[in-house]
Homo-oligomer: A and B are copies of this chain.
Amino acid sequence: MNEENPWVTLTCHEVYDNNWINVTHRDVLNPAGGKGIYGMVHFKNAAIGIIPLDDDNNTWIVGQYRYTLEEYSWEIVEGGGTLGVSLLDSAMRELLEETGIVASDWQQIAELHTSNSVTDEFGVVYIARGLTFTDADPEETELLQVRKLPFWELHKMAMRGEITDAMSLVGILKVAEMLRNGTAI
């Protein structure tokens, strides 16, 4: 079976646009040739996740109330990449803004699509090492708690189901593998 695009887009019109997302409604032919519709949510920025690690493998996580979920969520450091700025530069800025940490060594450990049935959101996760500490400067839309804890305690939280953010889970579980098999910086 070939892996070419079996979908046909017949019509496409914008139904919503803001600084972060663009939503379009499409009339389509599905892979079987049947008529259907598709509501597609395009994300304008990449999602970026950062797991900073100090020499003792302590890490820092961020707690915030998530508007969409109507619940509090502890996550790895995350932010949206800025258009025209490299993902790594965006990651450095996000780590500094949320935790006050500057890191000298960076390793990209995962690329992911968060929710590919409806969105094209793309994310990357980094390990950050070589840490120095300054004053944090969160954006005003954010009311964040920052918590320092051993990475392996965070891993236990993830295994116990206390972390539900998908990008955080991917990052934490992958860092655990990489620390154990010696491929993490």
Residues from chain B with a CB closer than 8 A to the CB of A121 are 115, 118
A67 touches B166 (CB 8 A): no
Q: How far, in angstroms, from A15 to B21 measured CA to CA in the complex?
A: 13
Max count, chain B CB within 10 A of own CB: residue among A43, A111, A141, A166? A166
CA distance A67 to B12 in the complex (A): 13
Q: Is the Cβ of A65 less than 8 Å from the Cβ of B6? A: yes
Q: Is the interface of A mostly helix, strand, loop or mixed?
A: mixed
* Per-residue B-contact encoding for A39-82, CB less than 8 Å = 1, 0 else: 11101000100000000000000010111111011000010100
Q: Who on chain B is nearest to A174 by CB? A: B173
Task: Kindly identify which residue among B5, B15, B115, B145 contacts A114, using a CB–CB cutoff of 8 Å.
Answer: B115
